[in-house]
Amino acid sequence: MPKYVYDFTEGNRDLKDLLGGKGANLAEMTNLGLPVPPGFTITTEACNTYLETGDEPTELRDEVSEHLGALEKEMGRKLGQPDDPLLVSVRSGAKFSMPGMMETVLNIGLNDESVQGLAKQAGSERFAWDSYRRLIQMFGKTVLDIDGDHFEEALEAAKQAKGTDSDLDLDENDLRALVDTFKGIVRDQAGREFPTDPREQMDFAVRAVFDSWNAPRAILYRRQERIPADLGTAVNVVAMVFGNLGMDSGTGVAFTRDPGSGQQGIYGDYLQNAQGEDVVAGVRNTLPLEQLEEIDKPAFDQLLEIMKTLEDHYRDLCDIEFTIERNKLWMLQTRVGKRTAGAAFRIATQLIDQGLIDIDEAVSRVTGDQLAQLMFPRFDADADKEQIAKGMNASPGAAVGKAVFDSDRAEQMANSGEAVILVRRETNPDDLNGMIAAQGVLTSRGGKTSHAAVVARGMGKTCVCGAEELDVDLKNRKFTARDGTVVEEGDVISIDGTSGAVYLGEVPVQPSEVVQYFEGEIDPDSDEASDLVKAVHRVISHADEKRQLKVRANADTPEDSERARRFGAQGIGLCRTEHMFLGERRQHVERLILAEGDDERHAALDALEPLQREDFVGIFTAMDGLPVTVRLLDPPLHEFLPDLTDLSVKVSLAEAGVGADKGGSDDVERDGKLLDAVRRLHEANPMLGLRGVRLGLVVPGLFGMQVKAIAEAAAQLKAEGKDPRVEIMVPLVGAVQELENIRDEARGILAEVQESTGQDLGALVGTMIEVPRAALTAGQIAEAAEFFSFGTNDLTQMGWGFSRDDVEAAFFSRYLELGIFGVSPFESLDREGVGRLVRIATEEGRAARPDLHVGVCGEHGGDPDSIHFFAEVGLDYVSCSPFRVPVARLEAGRAAIVGAGSDSR
């Protein structure tokens, strides 16, 4: 029989799958002897049973009753008893941190009778009625799904009636009246009375937490963070401790290091006479944590000791929530803290130097996505800019966009291609869609531990919080700075998440120092190099030492090739040749298509060949000594011709006597022939039509011209003492016979060039595996191919039966909502389907040809998760865009360290 409830004394941090992150860490702190309020955790298995069946497991109620009884015995009082009541909180806690995405209800157990007992126990009528109104407000919004604005408006009305803007100025009579008002809101909006039975309150709250796993904002957050949808959440029932008992009480959030920069020190926020949600919600601006030393030095000193204990124990930055109840410190939560990308690299290397982790673990703790964030531009320090406010530097980066004051509007504008900055007084979990859509987030309230800051850091989004100089008017969609500057919705602003500055207008950006390091402009060993550059250098250098996957780049020009080499590429895995037929060269393609005999076709090919040779000389020179895989022409020929509709109109107008100055053709005979060719080549589904290897077989001499240009370029450089390493790749092969025909033609041309130049070219001929049939017959194809390169873009399209240009806009968002897949298969490789084709082709290809080199050149070659899969399968290299090369190097190293990179051959 499964066990659904665990006391904090029964768990530990290794049980996150079962107890969730919060429950596992509460248990771990209890085991360490830290001051944790007693409680118990309802497991994720109970949640998943509830979500699957619509009802709780039959054993759950009895198990909860047993653990609640033990808690009551330990505390010496019963839940909600009229005199001296036990109150509890009910909190969510999934395996992976989802800040603010699910529900929490505090002060469960209060009713009209127990509130009197709480007042007597605490010696404060105000505190008791404040706690009661908080319960009704949270319960109404969370459990009964009442719009929170009803409660907020009532609270604002009470403060206005009192002539104050702070809820601290409301006395017990005001709060008692507010409780009655809140009960009326529940009655009107939910059609029922607020439940007064303490156990009914707790049971309702537990189910609400279960339901919140599938709330829209939780689903959106999981999709953004790629958290599996089937994990479920645990529920933690914890004895209440109170930070709102008076000025000798309070609540706070602390970090053992600065989550923004990684620097060691005292970082966090504290709020006197408050409960935990007040800090995170940002409804009152907090005090810096160091001021706690002046307020309550014994509690401050104890907190510092606990922070060191936790960081040493977890060997990482820890995020801590705590409450002080009448000068007694209680630990409510800890977890490995979210951090910015720069902080992640700095902290990893700091922990090496402190002897807490080794460099292998340091590499495993940073990600390619974090490295990519560090490669984005920053504001130009020398540019003219008008600063209008300054807030807290909550999440670094440079963001420019139009000010927008609600999340739905931000999402709409972003979807139409506009860059926006989401401006709010403070954000809450319902703002997640706007935060995802925006370039950055700006709030006038809250600190570094507010919802906006925590969520923005987690997703690598620029954020400035607590810009108190701004008066944000959401109703009229504008804000006013202290100097009188007014920014209306649609006006452009710039925010600097590194300094906290807010600027009017667009501020120019400059390259990232990390990019400058990769470009070779910054020496990491020099005194001028920043600590961030030094940290990135240490990590990436070790990743290079550990990785088994080589990293190449997709590059089509000498300039791209040179940059890729500076970024650490070990060759070119995909050099596309189609762009070489565009621009002024399009006329030669048109001549080739319109050729009416061998002579005209040869003349067109002869005109193209020297141009192609010149292209390859530049690329081979940039990659001297490294392999370059050249893909022969892949797109359908009609892509090099004018648009069918445009050409038809031009010809029709000309035939009607309209001149070229008014849109008609200036050469009706030529354009008429072109129109006939366009119609002849028109295909209903060109991506599955005459392209790739089929072109080479149907258009005599086309691939031969390209192979000759490649061979002559390589021979020229060989004669100059250079070392070109050429790989010729035939695209879209589905049958070995297709490849054999092109391979034989290519080998004949290579032999002719070698004989005429006296240069041994050593060129390889291989193929892309991008048609499912090719993957399933890879053993046959390997007998004719000297290498494979997976074109995972087309392999995904054909494997799923998707037309990428159509399906992503048409229905992918719905598929993501329904959980059909957690992330687009064009972003991260579908391991079960397309990945299986990759595995089959690799294994069967190498069985037929043991020395077969295998790589990947689709967009998945730069995706961190996909790279780990390619390492697991045993590929020789991945190839990606030049900018993603450092990301791929890091992820290949991480894959080797975790064992996925072991040779599977």
Residue 612 to residue 825: CA distance in whole angstroms: 34
Report the half-sphere exposure of 270 (CA within 13 A, side-chain side). Answer: 24
The residue behind tokens 């000791």 is 305
Give me the catalytic one of 67, 150, 318, 451. Answer: 451
Which 3 state secondary structure label does DSSP give 262?
Answer: coil
User: 47 an active-site residue?
Assistant: no
Question: In this structure, what token pair is assigned to residue 733?
Answer: 């092969």
Residue 193 to residue 368: CA distance in whole angstroms: 52
Question: In this structure, what token pair is assigned to residue 375?
Answer: 């490669």
Maximum Cα–Cα distance across the chain: 105
Residue 555 to residue 567: CA distance in whole angstroms: 12
CA neighbor of 724 nearest in space, from 561, 594, 495? 561
Residue 459 to residue 341: CA distance in whole angstroms: 10
**Helical residues (DSSP H) of 758-791, grouped into ranges:** 772-776, 778-782
**How many angstroms from the chain centroid is the CA of residue 456?**
11
Alpha-carbon distances, residue 881 vs 133, 564, 568, 900 (angstroms): 56, 8, 12, 23
The residue behind tokens 């401050």 is 300
Question: In this structure, what token pair is assigned to residue 713?
Answer: 């370029």
The residue behind tokens 């370059």 is 628
Nearest 5°: CA angle at 190, between 185 and 196? 80
Question: What burial letters (b/e) apply to 247-258, b meaning 16+ CB within 10 Å?
Answer: eebbbbbbbbbb
Nearest 5°: CA angle at 72, between 67 and 75? 125
3-class secondary structure for 466-480? CCCCEEEECCCCEEE
Alpha-carbon distances, residue 176 vs 114, 119, 131, 172 (angstroms): 14, 12, 11, 6
Count the Cβ atoms, other than its own, within 10 Å of residue 150.
Answer: 19
Residue 17 to residue 184: CA distance in whole angstroms: 41
- Give the list of residues 6+ apart from residue 546 with CB closer than 8 angstroms, or none: 360, 363, 893, 896, 897, 901
Residue 872 to residue 798: CA distance in whole angstroms: 23
Helix, strand, coil % over all residues of the chain, rounded to 5: 50, 15, 35
Give me the catalytic one of 318, 575, 857, 880. Answer: 857
User: 318 an active-site residue?
Assistant: no
The residue behind tokens 């000498």 is 558
Find the length of the chain.
Answer: 905
Which 3 state secondary structure label does DSSP give 563?
Answer: helix
The residue behind tokens 């009442």 is 146
Strands 287-288 and 264-272: antiparallel
Alpha-carbon distances, residue 109 vs 67, 207, 806 (angstroms): 16, 16, 54
**Helical residues (DSSP H) of 246-296, grouped into ranges:** 276-281, 292-295
Q: What is the CA radius of gyration of the chain?
A: 33
* Position 255, amino acid: F
Residue 876 to residue 574: CA distance in whole angstroms: 14
* Position 61, amino acid: R
Nearest 5°: CA angle at 345, between 339 and 346? 90
3-class secondary structure for 830-848? CCCCHHHHHHHHHHHHHHH
Query: Would you say the C-alpha torsion 96, 98, 103, 104 has a positive or negative sign?
Result: positive
Beta strands, E only, 95-248: 104-108, 233-239
* Catalytic residue positions, numbered: 451, 857
